[in-house]
Amino acid sequence: MTSGVLNLVLKRLAIAVVTLLIVLFAVFFATSMLPGDTASILLGQAATPEAVAGLREAMHLNDPAILRFLRWLLGLLHGDLGTSYANEMPVTALIGGRFVNTMELAGITTLLSVPLALTLGITAAMLRGSLYDRTVTILAIGVISVPEFMVATLAVLLFAVYLKWLPALSSVNEAHTLTDLVRIYAMPVITLTFVISAQMIRMTRAAVIETLSTPYVEMALLKGASRGRMVLKHALPNALGPIVNAVALSLSYLVGGVIIVETIFNYPGIAKLMVDAVATRDLPLIQSCAMIFCLGYLLLITIADIIAIMSNPRLR
């Protein structure tokens, strides 16, 4: 790696850090805009003004916003996410187990959707214009154009109502055998896989088609290389950068997807936790969950950008 690429990558990382700070700032301020005073909400309507004033003092609510923001940031660095308003538990304890659940869901979905989407995307590009290609493209556009909850409800209708193969709700605690486990994860994973794959198929197909139209692929065609060799040997290695980029970008759609999927299937992950926290206006919990999601999303986007930089031979 030459210093040019290194510089670009470092610059991209610096941008990611600045972005993260702005995002944290936005999350903090959006949540501190809440109407009503936190202290009086916590103490209820019967609280005396003295008690409210005391709690405000104790919670440092009288300090300027910027100071509270810095204190919150410092707490984050120490791994202290604050205490939930709703049930007085440390946020870290609430999030811990659920974080693992969400990562499991995301991990299994990634393992399934990446090979599936790449195969469909690359073959569709190879057979461009065929009935197969058109079917895949139309299906992908269809899935992208509808809300995630519709994909989920259709999956429930198909697999749980008509075919009766799977239960409609997940409950991780009841998993005892491997079959139980498969039955629990099946529905959320199927839904998420559909949502993520649709994006990935479109981007992969576009990337391969673009490479297939370059002069060197035409050269390979002219010198008599077979179709398979032309795609696998000449086009794919050059499309690899854009494809990996497409994968990383599509995975960032997981963030939006899990919020809906965890809610509809009652899956005990952090997205469900966050939606519940929004309903009860539990600030520290909302802030922490939002931060985790933004972090994951930023990480994926930054990886996508760095891969795009590294895969560009003109920068090497």
Contact residues for another protein, defined by CB under 8 A = 18-19, 22-23, 26-27, 30-31, 33-35, 141-142, 144-150, 153-154, 156-157, 160-162, 168, 252, 255-256, 259-260, 263-264, 274-275, 277-279, 281, 286, 290, 293-294, 297-298, 301
CA neighbours closer than 13 Å in the CB half-sphere of residue 148: 25
Give the shortest CB-55-to-another protein separation in angstroms: 21
| C-beta of 165 vs 216, nearer to another protein | 165
Give the shortest CB-263-to-another protein separation in angstroms: 6
The burial of 200, by beta-carbon neighbours within 10 Å (0-12 exposed, 13-18 middle, 19 or more buried), is given as: buried
Give the shortest CB-49-to-another protein separation in angstroms: 25
| C-beta of 156 vs 196, nearer to another protein | 156
What SS3 state is found at 83?
A: strand
Q: Could you give the CA distance from residue 265 to residue 262 in angstroms, rounded to a whole number?
A: 5
What SS3 state is found at 90?
A: strand
| C-beta of 100 vs 141, nearer to another protein | 141
Give the shortest CB-265-to-another protein separation in angstroms: 11
Give the shortest CB-147-to-another protein separation in angstroms: 5
Which residue bears the tokens 């205490």? 83
| C-beta of 6 vs 26, nearer to another protein | 26
The burial of 270, by beta-carbon neighbours within 10 Å (0-12 exposed, 13-18 middle, 19 or more buried), is given as: buried
| C-beta of 247 vs 260, nearer to another protein | 260
Cβ atoms < 10 Å from Cβ of 304: 19
Contact yes or no for 140/198 (Cβ under 8 A): yes
Q: Could you give the CA distance from residue 90 to residue 110 in angstroms, rounded to a whole number?
A: 31
| C-beta of 19 vs 40, nearer to another protein | 19
Give the shortest CB-9-to-another protein separation in angstroms: 18
Task: Report in angstroms the alpha-carbon separations of 190 from 28, 107, 197, 247.
Answer: 34, 13, 10, 18
